Chains A and B, each alone.
Chain A
Amino acid sequence: MHHPNKTAHAVIESPEFKRLVSKRWSVSLLLTITILVIYIGFLLVVAFDKELLATKIGSYLPLALPIGFGIIVTAWLLTGIYVFWANNTYDTEVQEIKNKINAN
């Protein structure tokens, strides 16, 4: 049977495609784990060691404030890193594979 699934199978089994998928998940999972560790770590510190977050930096500012803002900003920066990677590396590779499929 000559059916588009045959090409789909060939593409999926190709080393380029496999590399693309595994690279995509390495980046995604690395970033996912980073944000989970940051947030869950923060919650655990809140639950177990409130004093640590109440530690003063300077004359009155507790550590909790810059950490809180820092997590918000970091979350945003991580999405930015992903967009940058995807727009530059991932999309280029996707285009290469697509060109190859069209050429066949």
Chain B
Amino acid sequence: MLTSSLLLQASALPAASTLGTANPVSIIMFFLFVLITLYITYWAAKKTKTGSEFYAAGRNISGFQNGLALAGDYMSAASFLGIAGMVATKGYDGLIYSIGFLVGWPLIMFLIAEPLRNLGKYTFADVVAYRLQQRPIRIVSSVGSLLTIAFYLIAQMVGAGGLIKTLFGLQYELAVVVVGCVMTAYVLFGGMLATTWVQIIKAVLLLSGATVLVILSLATFNFSPANLFQSVADKYGEAMLSPGGFITNPFDALSLGLALMLGTAGLPHILMRFYTVPDAKAARKSVFVATGFIGYFYILTFFIGFSAMVLVGKPIIEGIDKGGNMAALLLAEQTGGTAFLGFIAAVAFATILAVVAGLTLSGASSISHDLYVHVFQKGVSNEKGEMKVAKRATVALGILSIVLGLVFKGQNVAFMVGLAFSIAASANFPALLMSIIWKKFTTQGAVWSIATGATLSLVLIVLSPTIWVDILQNSEAIFPLKNPALVSMSAAFLTGIVVSLVNPEPEAAEKFESEKLRTYLGIGAE
């Protein structure tokens, strides 16, 4: 028994050694991806002159295409490599995470997709501000958006640098600069149209790459998932196939679950995608398509994780990266050789590019559309001026993301993703939902709700075990939950309700009628 596992390790070791050296296949594949996407950007640039083209691809994307693009925006390298790694090292617990990431999608469909499409123009703040006072709402909601985007962006950039270093043996700093420059080019020249096609290509590559990886791995088990699970149980014990120590405190579980679930419905770059389709029907179709692809993808990641656990082996995976992030790549090399490793590595790199492009575009929209037009220009939109600001904001965000990537080098990025989801669930989601469904919602209510959600998320996560204990090395956390969403989101809802009731805004309630007509019938929707 012992000798056979040793033999397996010995045979796997040399294979693992090509990680970290420049692999010609991955370099060619990656350059091919960049060339094709830059060509698309060039093509899109000619069609991107007006605001509606820059922010919303002229609202000409079909429901199916947008579904793929939504899936592309959502399936980050963190979920591909991170969840596969979590399954490969911790077993079933990884699946609990991916289920949480998925179940937010039905809620987007049932609660906000159609109203969002019917009421908004370019950003989700359009919906919140629809019948409330523009300036205060635009200011707080852009703070909510930009905070969410910033933390998500840092996580992606730091992850990108580390990943590329491991994959290509390229310097961390160089990798961060390359990612920053290419994604700035997509957004700057091609706007939403180019970004959408980058997402679609990336989604197709990622889904097909992961499918081939699962097929190659299952071939080792005679195409029988039962054999795969049997081998996991034989090698690492049956406990791997059911929940382990990941969730012990039920409040922690609930809090994390709410953050993952409702955070999805508050991510600015996801919400922005609903304006790229012509109508509410197409918006519905996109969520259905996206949920299907994302669900399929998470099921694949699960098989990838378990196959890596058996075929590559936990010691090797954890030896290269403690978090198991290289599990999918090691499995690719094991089952498909160096060329396939190169392909999957290039896909992972492309994935990061696409996600940061989507984030940057939504950040730039918030700055130009919410802040510049509605706060500094008092709502008087001058298309040329707005586009100029949007493009400057894109360049500034590109530079900022490179700087943040360099500054946060080596930091643990998991909590930043958690924080981004928690702010999205607490600051963005409650205000968005209440503005759609509640007649008595007021400007003050929205402002206080967003401010409470954002501030509490930030403060509580610093006091939580994630930062207070793990990073700041204190012995005991001041706030007991790892994720603050349970408290911060409930507080955001409660604050919004109480403030609105205490200080009614008859004008907002009156305008709710015309909002209602547009929400349900789509009359006047752009």
- A residues sitting closer than 8 Å to B (CB atoms) are 4-5, 8-9, 11-12, 17, 20-21, 24-25, 27-29, 31-32, 35, 38-40, 42-44, 46-48, 50, 53-54, 60-65, 68-69, 71-73, 75-76, 78-80, 82-83, 86-87, 91, 94, 97-98, 101
Contacts and interface: CB of A to CB of B under 8 A. Distances in A.
B298 A72 contact: yes
Contact of A31 (B106, B230, B302): B106
Given A35-B103, A94-B521, A97-B521, A40 B254 contact: yes
B183 interface: no
B261 interface: yes
Contacts of B247: 43, 46-47
B136 to A, nearest CB: 24
B253 A47 contact: yes
Contacts of B295: 72-73, 75-76
Contact of A76 (B242, B291, B522): B291
A15 B96 CA distance: 45
Contacts of A21: 516, 520
By DSSP majority rule, is chain B's interface helix, strand, loop, or mixed? helix
Nearest to A64: B242
Given A60-B230, A94-B521, A46 B106 contact: no
Given A47-B247, A86-B284, A60 B99 contact: no
Nearest to B261: A39
Nearest to B249: A47
A50 B242 contact: yes
Nearest to A28: B110
A78 B106 contact: yes
5 contacts: A46-B96, A54-B239, A68-B92, A69-B299, A75-B105
B238 to A, nearest CB: 7
Contact of A53 (B106, B242, B253, B520): B242
A84 B236 CA distance: 44
B517 to A, nearest CB: 5
B504 interface: no
Contact of B291 (A12, A29, A64, A79): A79
B95 interface: yes
Contacts of B133: none
A32 B107 contact: yes
Contacts of B103: 35, 38-39, 71, 75
A62 B288 CA distance: 30
Contact of B111 (A32, A68, A87): A32
B242 A62 contact: yes
B293 to A, nearest CB: 9
B226 A61 contact: yes
Interface in B487-510: none
A60 B233 CA distance: 8
A79 B288 contact: yes
B243 A64 contact: yes
Given A39-B261, A78-B106, A79-B287, A12 B250 contact: no
A87 B516 CA distance: 20
B400 interface: no
Interface string B237-253: 01101111011111001
Given A28-B111, A42-B99, A47-B248, A62 B287 contact: no
Interface string B86-122: 0000001001101110110111011100100000000
